[in-house]
Amino acid sequence: MSQSATSTLAGLRSGAWLTREPGAHRGRAVGCDRARLFAVFVAGTHGWIVPLDRPTTTDFASFYAAGSLADAGTPQLAYDQAAHWAAEQAATAPGIEYQFFNYPPVFLLICAALAPMPYLVAFCVFMAATLLLYLAVARRILDDSSGTALLALLAFPMVYWTIGLGQNAFLTAALFGAGTLLIDRRPMLAGLCFGALCYKPHFGLLMPLALAAGGHWRAFAGAAVSALGLALISLLLFGAASWEAFFATAAGSHAVYESGRILFAGMGSPFGAVRLLGGGVALAYAVQGAASLIAAAAVVMVWSRGLSLSTRAAVLASATLVALPLLLLYDLMLGSIAALWLVRDRANPAARGWEMTALAGLVLVLLVSTPTLATQWHLPVFPLAALALFGIAVGHAWREMAQQKGTAPSLSRAKEYAG
């Protein structure tokens, strides 16, 4: 093998190429290319390039319509498909495809605050505010406020999927990331952040296991106060009928995801992967159940050992992606939280340079992947990316646990890397 080839392979294994100036330039170039591609995507979606056969919209129409119904004094109708669809069309255009609203009334607190604004203004306010919140949390995790870091964050493909689909993944990632940032220093505040995820409650599936395994009882209490407080506020504002309608909707929502009404190729879970590959519903749930148990076991193992904050946070975030049967491609924004903690922890003796190369490879895969391509290839790209991220995080944790044996106590080790 030539010297240049050997040097290249060594650089890929070490991950050093990502820290060099050419690597930074490549990151900026990717960010600019994504921005240009996104501009073309927006223009095409609105029929500014070629005329469209039917009107299009985003998932945000669902949020805005639900908020409009809540402001009109009929929040329970957000869960009535006929009334909700009529509100979506009134906000956007007649004949749009129906966008489901399966969120608990807690999320109506945000929707109702946005609905008094004109639709496009509300869309821009929601996306800009949640993106800025995410970027603030992400830069704190990365401990890097440079312009290059900002461009790298904006280059993450799921940023554009979230904006393009008008979804709430920035808010989810920001709350989850803020909770991990604060868990060791401000546990009660961390719990409040975790509890606020009750608007998307399945994202808290592994949270109680992590907090209990790590003995973070103040954070546990904070999460309970936050979730119960938000639920009570929504109950007082929107009434018991809204919660009754939500529970009825939630009870039947599984049929929507099992049937393929939501594209299997756009899912990021093992359940979606099995369905995309032609497996039946029973097999998909069995595989998902096994994956969820493995993810839960990893979280308990890592959080009970007092490992570094970066390792615990990366495992929890990545394991959550694997454990959820309902995970759509924009929800992979949470994967950026796991990746950022791993990048921050690259000086940890348990880290390996190839981890950075592997993370960059995952970003590149997501950069060129779409549900259309996944359908054509019958390749569950998004679930495989989530599993790969989980594998990287668990391997990182395993090496740290191995190095802890016979060294400093786990508590001092955790404090060493928590800063």
Alpha carbon distance 189, 194 (integer Å): 9
What does the pLDDT read at residue 71?
96
**240 exposed, middle or buried (CB, 10 Å; 0-12, 13-18, 19+)?**
exposed
Distance CA 161, CA 102 (A): 20
Least confident range from 5-14, 77-86, 111-120, 393-402: namely 5-14
Task: Tell me how far apart the alpha carbons of residues 246 and 294 are, in angstroms, rounded to a whole number.
Answer: 30
List pLDDT tens digits, range 223-248. Answer: 999 999 999 999 999 999 999 999 99
SS3 sequence of 360-404: HHHHHHHHHCCHHHHHHHCCCHHHHHHHHHHHHHHHHHHHHHHHH
For residue 28, pLDDT beyond 60: no
3-state secondary structure of 130: helix
DSSP per-residue codes, 199-219:
GSGGGGSSHHHHHHHTT-HHH
Chain segment 250-305, per-residue pLDDT in tens:
988 888 888 877 888 899 999 999 999 999 999 999 999 999 999 999 999 999 99
**Poorest-confidence range of 46-50, 94-98, 155-159?**
46-50
Reported as a pLDDT band with limits 50, 70 and 90, residue 375 is confident
Chain-centre distance of CA 205, in angstroms?
A: 13
- Judged by DSSP in three states, 237 sits in helix
Over residues 34-59, mean pLDDT: 52
Indicate whether 415 pLDDT > 50: no
Tell me the pTM.
0.86
